[in-house]
Structure formats: C-alpha cells, structure tokens
Amino acid sequence: MDVLIKNICCIGAGYVGGPTMAVIADKCSDIEVNVVDINEERIKLWNSPNLNDLPIYEPGLSQIIERCRGRNLNFSTDVQNKIASADMIFISVNTPTKKKGLGAGQASDLKWVESSTRQVAKHAKGNTIVVEKSTLPVKTAKVIQNILESVQNSVEGNETTFQVLSNPEFLSEGNAINDLEFPDRVLIGGESENAINALSNIYKRWVPDEKIIHTNIWSSELSKLTSNAFLAQRISSINSISSLCEKTGAEINEVAKAIGTDSRIGGKFLSAGPGFGGSCFKKDILNLVYIYEYYGLHDAADYWNSVLKINDWQKKRISNYVIDKLNGTVSGKKITILGFSFKADTNDTRESPAIDICLDLLEEGALLAIHDPKVNQNQIKSEFEERNFNENQNWSYNPNIIENIKESHAILILTEWKEYQSLDWQDIEKLMIKPSWVFDTRLITDHNQIKKTNINFWRVGEITNKETHSFS
Ligand code: UDX
Ligand code: ADP
C-alpha cells in the first residue's frame, strides 16, 4: 500500500530548500510543509510581511509565498519539533567545497549534511523517508544511511525506521520556479519501492509520469554531478572558441547559432560570457575530479579539471584585455562595473565571475563603481573580504547606473541584466572620460548604437571596431 505523506520537513531554507518547498506546498495544499533553518535571520526574512524582503530573489517566488505562507507552508527555527512531526524530510543544507583538511579545495564539506542527519536521527519518529536534495558527492546516501542506522540502533526500543532517497535538484537560479513547475525530469534514486512511490506521488500532482525517472541511488547522485559537468563543459567550450573568434573575425553568436542547429548539439547553453559562476558547477566538477583521483583515474580527472582551467582563463583574459586597452594601466582610473551577480535574475553572487575580474582590476589600482539591481553593497563587500581584499575605499556602490558611469574611463558589463540592454550610448558618451571604452562580456549591447558614438567597444567573441583580422 502506498505511503501517504501528510507532513514534510525541509532542513535548510536556502536557494534550493526555499523555492522547492514553496512549489510543493503550492501544488499540494493537503500536505503541511515546514522549512527549518538554524539561521534565525534567514527565517525572519522568509517570514517578513514585506515580500520584497524575502532572502532569495526568484521570479514568481513571492507570489507563491503570498499564497501558501501560513496556509500549509511555514518557516521556522524549530528544527527538533518539525523533524519529529514529519513523514518525509528533505535535506537541503549547504555543501560547499572543503577549505581545509583531506580533499581541501576539491571534496564537498559534508559537515552540515552530517549534523542535520544527526538531528534527524535524534528527533524523527515512526517511519520516516529521508530525501537528499543538496548536491552531494556519490555515495553520500550511504553516509546518511549509516548515521541514521547507528543512532537508531543505539537507542533501545526505538521504533523509528528510515528510508533514504536521492532526489537531486536541477534548478537554474532565476528560472527556479519554472524549473520546478515544468521540470525536464524528476530523478528519484533509491531502493525502497514504498519510499520511491511516496515521493513520486507528490511530484505526480503536477509532473507527467514519463518525466519521473527512477534509478538506483548511485546513478541518481552521479547523474546530478554529470549533468552539471556537461553543462559547464559547454560553456568552457564556447568560451574557448570566443577567443579564436576575436582573433579571426568569426562571430561567436553566429558560430553558436550554426552549431546549435545540429540537433545532436542543440542550441541551448551556448552563450559566450565571462565564465560560469554559481554555487554548483565548480563545486560539482571539483567533486567529480576528487572521485576520479580517489579511484586512480587520473587522466579522466585531468580532462574535467581542464573545464575549470578554461573558466579561470576566460576571466583572466578579460581582466587582462581591459587593462591592456586602457594603455596597460588602470591605476587611479574609474571603471564602472555593470552587474555583480553570477547571472541575471538572481541576487546570488557565489562564484560570480565578477568577483575575480573586479579583484584583478582592484589589484591593479583601478577605482571601481559597481552596480547591480539585486546585489547589495554588503554582499559585495563580504565577497571581496572572503578573498582577503579589504581595501574597501577603492570601490563604491551606487544603485543609480548613470551616477556610476559619470567620469568613468570604461564600462565593463559582467551580468546580462535587462537594465543594461537599453542604455542610451549617445547620452553615456557625454558622461565618460575620453578615450572611453565599453567592454561587453555578455553580448547584450546594441553595437549599432555604440558605433554611432566615439566610444571604443569590445564584445566577447567578436573582433573590436578598431581591429581587423589578418591571417599573416
Ligand atoms: C546550474 C544548473 O543549470 C542546474 O541544473 C543545477 O541544478 C544548479 O546549477 P545555476 O548555477 O543556477 O544552475 O545557473 P545556470 O543557468 O546553469 O548558469 C551557470 C553559469 O553559467 C552562469 O554564470 C551563467 O551566466 C553561465 N552561462 C550559462 C553561460 O555563460 N552561458 C550559457 O550559455 C549558459
Ligand atoms: P543551497 O544553495 O544549497 O540551498 P544555501 O547556503 O542557500 O544552499 O542554504 C543552505 C541552508 O541550510 C542555510 O540557510 C543554512 O543555514 C542551512 N543549514 C545548514 N545546516 C543546517 C542544520 N543542521 N539545520 C538547519 N539548517 C541548516
């Protein structure tokens, strides 16, 4: 008989847990969904009456929160009691790359997974299905299972039983609600048929049956890493081609369109840019590399490592190019940075290419005027400080784009925000110091408009207006 889920607890109210639970609560009004977190400030923001204060910006999210919060969706720090009343528990805690110890710089730090699993082991009651949602290295389900079983066995007369499932998220930030409502697939890995059915039945409320894939638990975990590694590999591939376009006169958008029409390649995820960011790609490839190394598969490890190397190279070549075009020195020069989030429609700055590129310019003495429609000054500051850059007097933040641009030598576009697509270049030219430069790493500017001005401009994957190609 199918297990009927009436009460869900999600541990971790972050970018994954928050939107995922909001959509489950929205689609299943008969299920009580409790999202818990140890971070009181975050929970306070999730409960904020002003929906603009939610801790995560995601198009469509605030409308769902408005509909469901207080109905069957609750946010709290009451981890213990919400675990105790749940039939199904999602683990959606952070799993960043380890900073020290064994596997530092490569393996995921599982301390938050472990501590939340211990809380589950201690407080859960009755038959409980535990779902790993965070991106985790292969075989983590075993770690979760072992902790649950050992704590469980150590308490005499304990009647709690656990089934562990892997149900990786495939959310692309900025599009998370759409990805949840209309997923390409839902992947559920596990052994217990009852548990798999219980979770499938939740998704079946809005996802067609054929899109719900069942695999063994290890295939599910590995598919998540592989999926992100393949996506990241596409970006490194197109970025490496962009450099060749700049030398030869080919245009990266034309090349992307031409290859994308081959149905075996497909047209998505072929936009050249400043390099990929976000919390997943780098972390997941590092994890994959770590696992290959562990099994002695060094050549395959090198292969995937090269995807990361090209990503770093792309960022570096952009900052070097800017410095080169500003006569080899940016010292004391004001440069306007448009965009700090790792992509548009999110306030997330984790691994944003803007961090490394800005730091390169700051190290060279540039004065940066940074703008982003959703990222605030404190977040930028903490990203710089985390990289040990504390000279905060050398950069400024202003929510007004035009104020930032005044007296700049150059504008560097790093995120493809809509606001930057319709700038009036003729007006902007009057505000800038001459010779002025615009560097567009996202191919969002209207170059026909810029051509009408005396602004020098460069767009990734295209030859600049002042250069001609030559094969000699
Ligand atoms: C990714 C995966 O897409 C998602 O399935 C997974 O579960 C989590 O990781 P996310 O990191 O939110 O999602 O963003 P994504 O849209 O994949 O973009 C990642 C990075 O690649 C961004 O910095 C983006 O700007 C860059 N990118 C993406 C490109 O440079 N070019 C492209 O064509 C696509
Ligand atoms: P992701 O992008 O994977 O969602 P985030 O860092 O945005 O990652 O969110 C993870 C959340 O998990 C954080 O808000 C963190 O406070 C929370 N968390 C970590 N460990 C625990 C725990 N043991 N109990 C409850 N919440 C936790």
| pLDDT tens readout for residues 30-86 | 999 999 999 999 999 999 999 999 999 899 999 999 999 999 999 999 999 999 999
Which ligand minimizes its atom distance to the CA of 228? 1
Q: How far apart are CA 80 and CA 36, in angstroms?
A: 9
pLDDT over 50 (residue 472): no
207-256 tens-digit pLDDT:
999 999 999 999 999 999 999 999 999 999 999 999 999 999 999 999 99
> What's the N-to-C CA distance of the chain in angstroms?
75
Tokens of 212: 């719900």
Alpha-carbon distance of 432 to 77, in angstroms, equals 50
- pLDDT tens digits for 268-320? 999 999 999 999 999 999 999 999 999 999 999 999 999 999 999 999 999 99
Token pair belonging to 60: 């469509």
**Which of 44, 4, 2 lies closest to 28 in space, CA to CA?**
4
Residue 465 has pLDDT above 60, yes or no: no
Q: Residue-wise over 234-264: b if at least 16 C-beta within 10 A, else e?
A: bbbbbbbbbbebbeeebbbbebbeebeeeee
Strand 395-397: give its sheet, edge to edge: 395-397, 367-371, 334-338, 410-413, 437-440, 456-459
CA 146 to ligand 1 centroid distance, Å = 33
Query: Could you tell me the two tokens for 271?
Result: 């936009």
Pull the structure tokens for residue 167.
Answer: 């149900």
Rounded CA separation 301/294 (Å): 10
Nearest CA to ligand 2 atom 3: 94
Which tokens hold the place of 206? 């809005």
Which atom of ligand 1 sits closest to the CA of residue 168? Answer: 7
CA dist 174 and 253 (Å) reads 23
User: Which pair of structure tokens corresponds to residue 364?
Assistant: 């060279």
- Token pair 């197109």: residue: 238
Ligand 2 pocket at CB < 6 A: 11-17, 36-39, 42, 79, 92-94, 112, 115-116, 119, 134, 279
- Cross-strand partners of 187: 213
Q: Rounded to whole angstroms, how far apart are CA atoms 304 and 293? A: 11
Q: Residues near ligand 1 with C-beta < 6 Å?
A: 169-173, 228, 231, 235, 269-271, 273, 276-278, 280-281, 342-343
Q: For residue 238, report the distance from its CA to the centre of ligand 2, in Å.
A: 33
The Cα–Cα gap between 396 and 404 comes to: 9
Measure the CA–CA gap between 99 and 388, rounded to whole angstroms: 14
- In angstroms, the CA 228 to CA 283 distance is 10
Question: Among the atoms of ligand 1, which is closest to the Cα of residue 273?
Answer: 30
Q: Is 463 left (phi over 0), alpha (psi -120 to 50) or beta?
A: beta
Distance CA 4, CA 45 (A): 31
| 358 among known catalytic residues | no
Ligand closest to the CA atom of residue 136: 2
378-436 pLDDT, tens digit each: 999 999 999 999 988 999 999 999 999 999 999 999 999 999 999 999 999 999 999 99
Of the residues 95, 235, 279, which should be mutated to test ligand 1's pocket, given the most ligand atoms within 8 Å of the CB? 235
